Chain A
Amino acid sequence: MELNLNFIYGHLPYWLFIILMLSGLFIVVSRGNLIKKIVGLNIFQTSVFMFYISIGKMKGGTAPILLDKAANNSEVIYSNPLPHVLILTAIVVGIATTALGLALIIKIREEYNTVEEDDIQEMDEKDLKAYNKKNVLEING
């Protein structure tokens, strides 16, 4: 099979998007440490930001600012601003998610004294057995 180098170079942002996306997803799934999971989630989300921005890029395009056409006397090529705007929103969502995730981790650490998923699961199973015997729910905080 003939390697089409132009194809590979021409789609470089997309290759990076795929690599980043898969490594982010892999970190989320494989790591037991909750903070590392959040880091993986961030990489995963960032890859999508990169994907969107590369959609909007035009060859030789400038920033999408209103230029004085009479001075330039030519058509201005500019990048598509819409994906950038979408990604600004997605970044805000991503930050909110990260903040909430970290806040939950702090609470988990207070309650369980660990941030390792395996330990938490073990304690949850112990809880389950203890609650099966005596299960009275009262506010404790």
Chain B
Amino acid sequence: MASEIKQGTLDFINHLPILQVITPMLIAPVLVVLNNKTLSWLLSFVGALACLLISVLLLQAVSDGSTLRYYLGGWVPPIGIEYRIDAANALLLFLISMISAIVLIFSYSSLHAEIPEDKHTLFYACFLLCLTGLLGVVATADIFNVFVFLEISSLSTYVLVAQGSYLDRRALSASFNYLIMGTIGATFFVIGIGYLYMATGSLNMMDIAERVSQLGQNRTIQAGFAFIVVGMGLKLAMVPLHVWLPNAYTYAPTVVTCFLAATATKVALYVLIRFVFSVFNYEDSFVNELFFLLLMPLAIIAMIAASVIAIFKQNLKKLLAYSSLAQIGYMLLGLSLMSQKGLASSLVHMVNHGFTKAALFMSLGAFMLNTKNIYIKSLKGLGKSMPFTSAAFVIGGLSLIGVPGTAGFISKWLLLEAAIEAGYWLIAILIVVSSLFAVIYIWKIIEVLYFSERAGSYREVSVVTLIPIWILALFCIFLGINTSLTVDVANIAADVLFN
């Protein structure tokens, strides 16, 4: 089914997989050379829009279950590096480029409140590099390439998180901790790749998959898999390895938090999914046991414990960060069910939660523009003075809880179905319980917004700020009503991954 690419022709369509990744990479140094605040915003935005356009074209091309293959420099794999786009990563590419474009609209009107203006150019350059890394991780089919792109995105993420230090110096220690944890995770990942290379002598995912299935039960490959799971666990903030996440999300500038919460952890989870299904043999008893005995309990702990912690947080960014941890638990749970339905629910939840969390963090950022405060009591009575932002926040909150008609409902419903289908009634109940905790912490915020005395007089934020917030809020509703974009594509993706 794979459509071969004619090498040597400059057919635009055939080169989309590589254009997706290098567009932001090529723009980033140009920004630094031009060194102009407005121009660099404009160029980054144009770059992000180009990425979005390419990802939509790619999604269209692969939505029938086919696979696009691109050979870098014309070198045929397993010698050359291959970019391979199927339904699963096209969906992720779409999420990442969409969020980056929306976040860039928001940054136009809000970044000056958090970062001094002379640093804006470098900020955007870093942002684009981070985008390059995330897109690259998703697009590539070469396992060492995954590591390189992962580190490109992580290194720029550390810088972006540290930018919060203009408001609060704790951003620096948060970023440093993230750097230490992230690097340990990446190094574990490289060790895992080393073991795989040692056992199979190849770096191409498909090639390794073939050789792994020939090798059967092999201790080296199992050790490699364990290293990769721990390494990615650190990057995706699996529960005992999540320590870096709450502080990094809390003290990073809002723009960065929006972007990271919606994309970075999902990309790490995608790598895990890709390795389980496209590199290792998912039917292998070792892989199954690891997921059933280790990842599933951890996912459930994340779901419950992080939601409970979120209830008691006064700092709103921290509250949403803990809620993100709980949501990562849902996605991991869907994966660890090891069924086609579970995997599809996990993929759908990645996209839906991406839009939901971005909407929440962004409307929080809009509140912060006015109140200069991230504590819950600063929102008193803002429901009346900032009606549009508050309404968007409520929509995001409902989607986070999983109220019917919103995006969150669809993915939670799929997850429940998958759990019940697998016969895990207790887990299905726990999913509902965790959602009830989400009701508590979202209600806590809504109560302060709408049902308390007005503390200060604030005006609604400008239209430019409202546009990206409402795009995201409308996405939360749209994805809850029209599921052809998410559920159908995710089902195709799960089908592709399982076969």
> Which of A21, A86, A139 is the one whose CB lies under 8 Å from B144?
A86
Which segment, of A4-12, A59-67, A96-104, faces chain B?
A: A96-104
Among residues of B, the one whose C-beta sits closest to the C-beta of A127 is: B170
Instruction: List residues of chain B with CB within 8 A of the CB of A121.
Output: 173
Contacts A/B (CB < 8 Å), 6 sampled:
A90-B190, A107-B165, A135-B378, A137-B372, A139-B115, A139-B167
Evaluate contact between B375 and A132: CB separation under 8 angstroms: yes
Which segment, of B16-24, B174-182, B234-242, faces chain A?
A: B174-182
Q: How many angstroms between the C-alpha atoms of A132 and B313 in the bound complex? A: 12
Considering the complex of A and B, which 7 residue pairs feature the smallest CB-CB distances, nearest first?
A111-B169, A93-B151, A137-B167, A137-B372, A108-B172, A104-B176, A141-B166
Give B449 Cβ to nearest chain A Cβ, in Å. Answer: 18
Q: How many angstroms between the C-alpha atoms of A53 and B270 in the bound complex? A: 29
Evaluate contact between B172 and A48: CB separation under 8 angstroms: no
Q: How many angstroms between the C-alpha atoms of A51 and B224 in the bound complex? A: 13
Q: How many angstroms between the C-alpha atoms of A29 and B173 in the bound complex? A: 15
> Which of A37, A51, A124 is the one whose CB lies under 8 Å from B194?
A51
Decide yes or no whether A138 CB sits under 8 A from chain B. yes
> Which of A100, A135, A141 is the one whose CB lies under 8 Å from B159?
A100
How many interface residues does chain A have, given as a range?
35 or more
Give A105 Cβ to nearest chain B Cβ, in Å. Answer: 7
Among residues of B, the one whose C-beta sits closest to the C-beta of A120 is: B173
How many interface residues does chain B have, given as a range?
35 or more
> Which of A82, A112, A137 is the one whose CB lies under 8 Å from B374?
A137
Evaluate contact between B374 and A48: CB separation under 8 angstroms: no
Instruction: List residues of chain A with CB within 8 A of the CB of B166.
Output: 139-141
- Residues 64-100 of A contacting B (Cβ, < 8 Å): 82-83, 86, 89-90, 93, 96-97, 100
> Which of B115, B159, B165, B375 is the one whose CB lies under 8 Å from A111?
B165
- Of B115, B173, B186, chain A has the most CB atoms within 10 Å of the CB of B173
Instruction: List residues of chain B with CB within 8 A of the CB of A55.
Output: 194, 197-198
Q: How many angstroms between the C-alpha atoms of A124 and B247 in the bound complex? A: 11
Evaluate contact between A44 and B179: CB separation under 8 angstroms: no
Instruction: List residues of chain A with CB within 8 A of the CB of B64.
Output: none
Q: How many angstroms between the C-alpha atoms of A138 and B194 in the bound complex? A: 47
Q: Given A132-B375, A135-B374: A89 and B144 within 8 A (CB)?
A: yes
Q: How many angstroms between the C-alpha atoms of A21 and B186 in the bound complex? A: 14
Decide yes or no whether B162 CB sits under 8 A from chain A. yes
Q: How many angstroms between the C-alpha atoms of A25 and B188 in the bound complex? A: 11
Instruction: List residues of chain A with CB within 8 A of the CB of B187.
Output: 44-45, 48
Instruction: List residues of chain A with CB within 8 A of the CB of B173.
Output: 108, 112, 120-121, 124
> Which of A25, A48, A112 is the one whose CB lies under 8 Å from B190?
A48
Given contact pairs A104-B162, A132-B375, enumerate 4 new A-B contacts (beta carbons under 8 Å).
Answer: A44-B184, A44-B187, A93-B148, A141-B166
Evaluate contact between A107 and B191: CB separation under 8 angstroms: no
Evaluate contact between A100 and B373: CB separation under 8 angstroms: no
Instruction: List residues of chain A with CB within 8 A of the CB of B180.
Output: 28, 37, 41, 101
Give A118 Cβ to nearest chain B Cβ, in Å. Answer: 12
Evaluate contact between A100 and B155: CB separation under 8 angstroms: yes
Q: Given A96-B155, A136-B373, A137-B374: A25 and B184 within 8 A (CB)?
A: yes
Decide yes or no whether B206 CB sits under 8 A from chain A. no
Give A44 Cβ to nearest chain B Cβ, in Å. Answer: 6
Give B137 Cβ to nearest chain A Cβ, in Å. Answer: 14
Among residues of A, the one whose C-beta sits closest to the C-beta of B169 is: A111
